[in-house]
Amino acid sequence: MKMLFTFLTACIVAAAALAQPNNPYNQVGKDFIKSAQIVAGEIKNGAIKTADEETIRKVQSYIPSKTQMNPSLAGQIVKMVSHNPIPLSDALKSSSLKPEVQREISLMLEHAFTADDPKHKEWLKEKTESVLSSSYDQRDKELLLSLIAIQYNQGNFEDVGRISCNTSVNGRVVETGEGMDCAGAAMLVGFTVGYTFCGIYCGIGGAVIGFVAVALGSLS
């Protein structure tokens, strides 16, 4: 009985270590990574060859993330994140997001250390507390906490190619590093463009597209 209790305790601790305990939207991040993994896998094995209406509807029916998307928006996002530097500044400027929310997203990128760096996750936990206690309305809190959850969980993605990138933030070019940093930057761009089009579900859909496009090496 003691050995069983010890084993169960270890399992609980291990599971907790994979989650962000203070973010009520952590499941959004977990579902995002599962969705991105599915989409990336199907692109690599040839099951997804185009982003037409039929393909988008089919993919939306079996990925865990709830998304909205159309071919035109998907193409716009892929085109944006294929540029180096990745243009987060441009995406934010043309967005419908409040200035204070734009600043928060810029900060998320500027603090985007290597995905598996404990400092990054600690910063995300602190940012979560800041957002939860802020005067942001519920819609903006949902947006920011969802993005934090995605960043917190993105280290669980397994298919990032060997890429390097720069990102344009606040009108200046910031070195964001390699691999997961680049995919994370593209995720923020995809989310911003999608969210401006039709809200949180287009934001999540855009984030998946931006993240996967760069994770699989779509940088020029």
pLDDT in tens, 148-169: 999 999 888 887 776 778 887 7
Cβ-based neighbour number of residue 44 at 10 Å: 11
The pLDDT of 186-207, averaged and rounded, is 96
The lowest-confidence range among 6-15, 90-99, 175-184 is 6-15
Please name every residue paired with 188 in a beta bridge, in sequence order, or none if there are none: none
Q: Is the pLDDT of residue 13 over 50?
A: no
CA distances (Å), origin 183, targets 10, 31, 58, 129, 188: 32, 17, 24, 25, 9
Q: What is the pLDDT of residue 77?
A: 96
Alpha carbon 84 to its chain centroid, in Å, reads 18
| Stretch (H or E) spanning 102 | helix 99-110
Q: What is the pLDDT of residue 37?
A: 95
Please state, for a pLDDT cut of 70, what percent of the chain lies above it. Answer: 84
Spatial separation of the C-alpha atoms in residues 28 and 11, rounded to whole Å: 22
Cβ atoms 162, 82 nearer than 8 A:
no
Q: How many CA atoms lie within 13 A of 134 on its CB side?
A: 19
Q: Is the pLDDT of residue 86 over 60?
A: yes
Q: What is the pLDDT of residue 114?
A: 61
pLDDT in tens, 26-47: 999 999 999 999 999 999 999 9
Spatial separation of the C-alpha atoms in residues 77 and 43, rounded to whole Å: 17
Cβ atoms 109, 169 nearer than 8 A:
yes
Q: What is the pLDDT of residue 168?
A: 77
- 138-153 vs 26-44: helix axis angle to the nearest 10? 50
Q: Is the pLDDT of residue 5 over 90?
A: no
The lowest-confidence range among 74-83, 115-124, 148-157, 205-214 is 115-124
Q: Is the pLDDT of residue 7 over 60?
A: no
- Kindly list the domain boundaries of the chain, sorted by start residue: 2-215
Spatial separation of the C-alpha atoms in residues 16 and 18, rounded to whole Å: 5
The lowest-confidence range among 9-18, 157-166, 201-210 is 9-18
Spatial separation of the C-alpha atoms in residues 34 and 218, rounded to whole Å: 20
Q: What is the pLDDT of residue 113?
A: 58
